[in-house]
Structures are given as C-alpha cells and as structure tokens.
Amino acid sequence: MSNDSGNVLLAVLTGAIIGVGAGILYAPDKGVKTRKKIKKNALKTKDDLTHRITQATEELTKTAEEKKVDFEQKLEDTISNMSYKADDIIMSLENKLAELKKKNAQLQK
C-alpha cells in the first residue's frame, strides 16, 4: 500500500476508535443496546476498511499490470533496435573483411 493509503487507513481507524469511545461515554442507552451499537459500528468500519483495502489492491494490481506492459514494450523496442544495429555492424565487418581479402590477395601476387 502506498504511504497515502496507509495514512487514510490510520485516519479511518483513529476516527472509528474515537467515535466508538465517544459513543460509549455519552450513550443514553443500556449496556445491551450500547454493545449492539458498538458491534454494528465495528462491523460497518470493518466492511469499510475491507472495501478500501480491496480498492487499493485493485489499483495496485492495475498499475503493476500497466507498468509490466510498458516495460515489455520498451524491452521489445530495445531488442529490435539492437538487432538492426547488430545487422549494421555485421555488414560493416563483412565489407571490411572483403577489403582485407582483396588487399591480402594483391600482396600475395
């Protein structure tokens, strides 16, 4: 998870804890009702956190996939360029070799 997602998660948890604490302190209801409210809020917070974590995971997966595709394309382009350059170098070397063979033939006469 990115640092921003971690900060958001921490803020949500902190808010939930403060909210639950304030709810308990100022609760006009009996203990059973208060516990039910706490449980309901805890489940809601859990669902919210699960949703946020799922979203963050999906975004991270999507970004990673995009970077992978981009990397593969750049790698393919680089290999293609290297192949053309290698062909140019081989042709130059073959031409140089032909020139050297001609010179060698002339020197042997």
Q: Which domain holds residue 60?
A: 3-108
Lookup result for tokens 């970077």: 67
Whole-structure pTM value: 0.48
Question: What does the alpha-carbon distance between residue 2 and residue 52 come to, in Å, rounded to a whole number?
Answer: 13
In this predicted structure, what is the pLDDT of residue 70? 94
In this predicted structure, what is the pLDDT of residue 95? 92
Q: In total, how many domains does the chain have?
A: 1
Q: How confident is the model at residue 99 (pLDDT cuts 50, 70, 90)?
A: very high
Which two three-digit tokens encode residue 24?
């308990």
Of 28 and 61, the one with more pLDDT: 61
What residue type is assigned to position 107 of the chain? L
Q: How many CA atoms lie within 13 A of 62 on its CB side?
A: 6
